[in-house]
Chains A and B, each alone.
Chain A
Amino acid sequence: MCAHMSEFERVPSFTHPKPERNGGFMASREPLPVTFASYRNLETYDELIQADGQPRPAATALVRHLESISPEELRARQDAAERGIETAGITFTVYSQGQGIDRSWPFDIVPRVIDRHEWDRTEAGLVQRLSALNHFIGDVYGDRKIIKDGIVPTSLVEESPGYLPECQGIEPIHGVWAHICGSDLVRGSDGTLYVLEDNLRVPSGVSYMIENRMITKKVFAELFAAQSILPVDAYPDRLLRMLSSLGSRPNPVVAVLTPGIYNSAYFEHSFLARQMGIELVEGRDLFVEDDVAYLRTIEGPVRVDVLYRRVDDRFLDPMVFNPDSLLGAPGLMSAWRAGNLALANAPGTGVADDKVVYSYVPDMIRYYLNQEPLIENVPTYRCVDDDHRDFVLSHLDDLVVKPANESGGYGIVIGPSATQDVLAETAAAIEANPRNFVAQPVISLSTVPTLCDGVLQPRHVDLRSFTLQGAETYVACGGLTRVAMVERSLVVNSSQGGGSKDTWLVDTDARVATEAGTSQIQTQAHLPEAQLPEQTPST
């Protein structure tokens, strides 16, 4: 059931690696000792190790540490991490034969490292991007200036399945529709960072970003003393602050709306509610009266002002959308339209969560913000455009073809590895419905050393970033690195053998003690001191 499928549980819509030439990854041919002396990844960019075999500057402390510990020690720490995940109950849910099964969260202990200098630009680029997208969504449901000015075609909006006519004319607070955006970033073989897609509906994964750091702090505690790694746990506070900024009353009541424990991302819903100290509610905990939404509590109804809803648009309100849905509550849409209830994300943001719309984001940034994009888009051919379509059809075996509106990566055709039959079917599908397809050149994803079968091997990664926009904007420090555990695979999906890594933003400018313990213990002499009382010895 779609409502139970979060975007996180999808086959990522990755482009795929070049077909194997020159023997592929040298490093994966034979088991390596836990050192990087013979670790090489010649095909693509490696996030920790340069082409000359030396660590990248931000990764130096990490690589040196990994070189200093034995393979047994490294494996023991991986085991400790996995046991910790099991005990803490950090799970995700997969579906098999109609049943949801909780599985332990897959985690690799070798972190992915990003230099803070690079991140500063990325962060600005993500804020820029979300800002432009929010302008666009507001414009779509408002005056449609961007269409009138001929930047995007009318069909882009009206033929989008994510477009909700119910949202026309609404002006949400701060002019923001997508309050939480999960943009997926990938790095090409020349080191360029691209946005692969923007998830504007109910992006997930941020809880695992925070849990991954908790685990790393346990298993690699000593590394944090030797360098300056930016903390990630400010996110829930920033999220709560953003959500509170959407309320129309002072001290608004904010809650997380979950479809329930059978949802694949329930762990995250519960995690975020817990971290923010707010209620985790289901549809049956809510009711709406006179366009005001209430929670059912033991003390009677309590008005709720802001819902961080993790329920899809179509299941939000049975009076407006799917009449059979029990996941939302009747009247939520009218409460939202009346301005008595803020929904994050707002309904209708799906109109911008579309591969064809994605291809226009750089134009939107120029149009609305009068700026040049700070992060690149993957070059995208729109099949609806005659010139583009002709090119795509004649280069199908070199390109990746994606349906515009399938989430979950369904229907992606990877030209270089597809059979002639599949290519022919794809060509026919494009001809029949060109609006529904885009094509992109193949991008080889970057790699990170990953513990596989007890040795470090290069594995492909992406990065899901998390950007917030309310009264203020905020970008989570780094994000969630997902890794394809299978050699040469690009499937980072946790239900299909994908794993995850902690993501470190390393501040290479910060002065840190070279060895733990060399920093002086500082005492503040002026603090009053009183000894603890002691029992008087009896004689």
Chain B
Amino acid sequence: MLLSRTAEDIYWLGRHLERTDALARIVREHTRLLIDLPVDVDSDWSALLAITGSGELLYERYPRAGEDEVMTFLMADVANPSSLIRTVSAARENFRTARPSLPNSAWECLNALHLDVVAKAGDCRRRSDRIDLTDSVTTSMQRLIGILSTVVSRDDAWRFLELGRAIERADMTTRVIDVRAGALMSSAQPCPSDLPPADRSPYEDVRWLGVLRCLGAQHMYRRSCAASVEGESVVGFLIGDPHFPRSVRHCVEEASMLLRALPERHGTKRALAELRNVIDSVPVGPLRAEALHTYLDDTQLVLAELHDTIEDAYFALTTAETTPVGPNSAGSNPAGSKGADLATTGTPPTRAEQAGAQRSSATHDGDLGAQRLVVA
């Protein structure tokens, strides 16, 4: 048995864990990239901020933002909903309410990580401290995911955890490609990769390697493509590789598989068809910036719709909120009968909707999706 509310917490736990992992990795790799770049190259934070969709908020809070401010903002600022500290805290809160369904050792691991991040995130201005902390976040996440994947039964709770992770991972990969690769490919006409290697900036390859590293993909890319690190093949790999676990295609296929294994609900069939469509339309051949943008936009839209479908199908606490209850009630919703479909029998607004909580939409220039607040 899995309560709808617990399913929602576990799904968001999956998303927040994946987001924590991605954020730590992206900050670390960006910091490493800066170390590689010459000192006279302006530090460019826009990509880092665009990935998390938090650029506007940064400049609101720190009008003269340099490396110190950007790092404080991304790691330790509790006013930034996508900061590391907020993301880890959100994961911890999700886990806390789902504790009866998940192993204690995993809780202790996340709780220790949370304590560590709270203690250290504010002190990340030195690049080496920052690399140490993000390394330790990665190690903790690997341990946590290791615990979960070795001792959690492959039941519906597991499926919601993995579904949250797969959707977040797919979303994160599209964000990384979109802001980094997209910017690079459209900045020069023709595409940089169309130029002979000698004409390209010496730091071009380093930047593309950075893209791969942001997704921990450098090794598998080389194994799979046996090619030098070039924009087009990197983008092709990160979108369409069927085997790499952070490629868009792999994440979407995984999400489909998980959704198919859950009880069928209103909208889930259509969502599966749309996911199929994302896989079938993976671009092949030479990539152009506009086509890439369109594909990434469409994919993000499908992921956002998938999220909404899951929310409506499994998390919405419907029935009996508005149904009169008592011996004389009309019994329009025979909830006691076997197999009654909660999701399709009348959908009064949930408390979250009444509270006007923000609906999560992972659009390409938007914030990272946020969990709806349930106001009791």
Instruction: List the B residue with the shortest CB-CB distance to A272.
Output: B100
Neighbouring B residues of A278 by C-beta, 8 Å: 100
Which chain B residues lie closer than 8 Å to A303 at the CB level? 336
Is A57 an interface residue when CB atoms closer than 8 A count as contact?
A: no
A261 lies within 8 A of B96 (CB)? yes
Closest Cβ neighbor of A87 among chain B residues: B112
In the assembled complex, which residues on chain A have CB atoms less than 8 Å from the CB atom of B104? Answer: 274
Which of the four size classes fits the interface of chain B?
35 or more
With a cutoff of 8 Å between Cβ atoms, the chain B residues found around residue A285 in the complex are 3-5, 317
Residues of B within 8 A of A292 (CB): 336
Tell me the nearest residue of chain A to B265, going by C-beta: A298
Is the CB of A273 closer than 8 A to any CB of chain B?
A: yes
**Does B2 make an interface contact (CB < 8 A)?**
yes
Q: A261-B96, A279-B100, A298-B2 are in contact. Are A289 and B7 (CB under 8 A)?
A: no
Bound together, the chains give a CA A277 to CA B153 distance in angstroms of: 13
A65 and B156 alpha carbons, distance in the complex (Å): 49
Point out the residue from B5, B326, B342 that lies within 8 Å of A300, measured CB to CB.
B342
B79 at the interface (CB under 8 A from A): no
A294 to B334, CA, bound (A): 12
* C-alpha spacing A277/B99, complex, angstroms: 10
Find chain B residues with CB under 8 A from A334 CB.
Answer: 326
Contact of A300 with B341 at beta-carbon distance under 8 Å, contacts A281-B3, A285-B4, A285-B5 already known: yes
Which residues on A sit within 8 Å (CB–CB) of B317? 284-285, 296
Q: Is A316 an interface residue (CB 8 A)?
A: no
C-alpha spacing A270/B5, complex, angstroms: 14
Smallest CB gap from A271: residue in B: B99
In B331-350, the 8 Å CB interface with A consists of 331, 333-336, 339-342
The listed residue (A270, A295, A330) touching B99 by CB distance below 8 A is A270
Which residues 81-124 of B have a CB within 8 angstroms of A? 93, 96-97, 99-100, 104, 107-108, 111-112, 115
| Residue of chain A at shortest CB distance from B340 | A300
| B96 to A, closest residue via Cβ | A261
Cα-based distance from A217 to B290 in the complex (angstroms): 63
Q: Does A32 belong to the interface (CB within 8 Å)?
A: no
Which B residue sits closest to A282, measured CB to CB?
A: B5
Question: Is B32 close to A, CB under 8 A?
Answer: no
Which of A87, A291, A319 contacts B115 (CB under 8 A)?
A87
**Is A225 among interface residues, defined by CB-CB distance under 8 A?**
no
| A26 on interface, CB distance cutoff 8 Å | no
Which residue, of A87, A278, A287, A331, has the highest number of chain B Cβ atoms within 10 A?
Answer: A287
Distance, CA A508 to CA B232, complexed state (A): 77
The answer to whether A284 and B100 touch across the interface, beta carbons within 8 angstroms, is no
Q: Is there an interface contact between A301 and B3, defined as CB atoms closer than 8 Å?
A: no
- Write out the residue numbers on chain B whose beta carbons fall within 8 Å of the beta carbon of A260: 376
Q: When the two chains form their complex, are residues A302 and B1 in contact, meaning their CB atoms are under 8 A apart?
A: yes
Q: Decide if A270 touches B96 in the complex (CB within 8 Å).
A: yes
Q: Which of B112, B156, B331, B351 contacts A298 (CB 8 A)?
A: B156
Of B262, B331, B340, the residue contacting A290 (CB under 8 A) is B331
Convert B58-83 into 0s and 1s, putting 1 for each residue whose CB lies closer than 8 angstroms to a CB of A: 00000000000000000000000000
Q: Determine whether A190 belongs to the interface, using a CB cutoff of 8 Å to chain B.
A: no
Tell me whether A89 and B325 are in contact (CB under 8 A): no
- Residue A27 at the B interface, CB < 8 A? no
Q: Is the CB of B326 within 8 A of A331?
A: yes
A101 CB within 8 Å of chain B: no
Query: Does B285 make an interface contact (CB < 8 A)?
Result: no
* Separation of A453 and B6 alpha carbons in the complex (Å): 43
Question: What is the CA–CA distance of A317 and B279 in the complex, to the nearest angstrom?
Answer: 50
Inter-chain CA distance A291–B323, complex, in Å, is: 14
Q: Is the CB of B100 within 8 A of A270?
A: yes
**Does A301 contact B335, Cβ atoms closer than 8 Å?**
yes
Contacts of A253 in B (CB 8 A): 1
Whether B319 sits at the interface, judged by CB under 8 Å, is: yes
Taking a contact as CB atoms under 8 Å apart, the answer to whether A284 and B5 are in contact is yes
Q: Is B320 an interface residue (CB 8 A)?
A: yes
Is the C-beta of B263 less than 8 angstroms from some C-beta in chain A?
yes
The residue from B100, B111, B263, B314 contacting A88, defined by CB atoms under 8 A apart: B111
Q: List 25 A-B contacts (CB under 8 A).
A: A87-B108, A89-B111, A261-B93, A273-B99, A284-B317, A284-B376, A285-B4, A285-B5, A285-B317, A287-B321, A287-B335, A289-B329, A289-B334, A289-B335, A294-B335, A295-B3, A296-B3, A296-B319, A297-B2, A298-B2, A299-B2, A301-B319, A301-B335, A303-B336, A330-B325
Besides the known contacts A290-B331, A297-B2, A330-B325, 20 further A-B residue pairs in the complex with CB atoms under 8 A apart: A260-B376, A270-B99, A273-B100, A279-B1, A279-B100, A281-B3, A282-B5, A284-B5, A284-B376, A288-B325, A289-B329, A289-B335, A296-B318, A298-B2, A298-B156, A298-B262, A299-B1, A300-B341, A301-B340, A334-B326
